[in-house]
């Protein structure tokens, strides 16, 4: 994920944090997952 995080940060011109679902806080994980929108789906 670190390489993707750096690449995304460079693309958008600001710091990006990429996390897996299990790395999210249990206090807001379900809300984040419910609102998540796939940006890339492998065929």
Tens of pLDDT, residue by residue over 1-10, are 789 999 999 9
Q: Are 11 and 25 contacting, i.e. CB atoms less than 8 angstroms apart?
A: no
Structure tokens at 35: 């609102």
Q: Read off the pLDDT of residues 14-33 as tens digits, 9 standing for 90 and up.
A: 999 888 889 999 999 999 99
Q: Is the pLDDT of residue 41 over 90?
A: no
Is the C-alpha dihedral spanning 30, 37, 3, 5 positive or negative? negative
Cα–Cα distances in angstroms (integers) from residue 20 to residues 12, 17, in the given order: 20, 10
Domain boundaries, the chain: 2-35
């Amino acid at each position: 994920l670190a390489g993707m995080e750096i690449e995304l940060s460079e693309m958008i011109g600001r710091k990006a944090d990429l996390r897996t679902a299990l790395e999210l806080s249990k206090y807001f994980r379900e809300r984040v997952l419910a609102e998540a929108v796939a940006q890339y789906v492998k065929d």
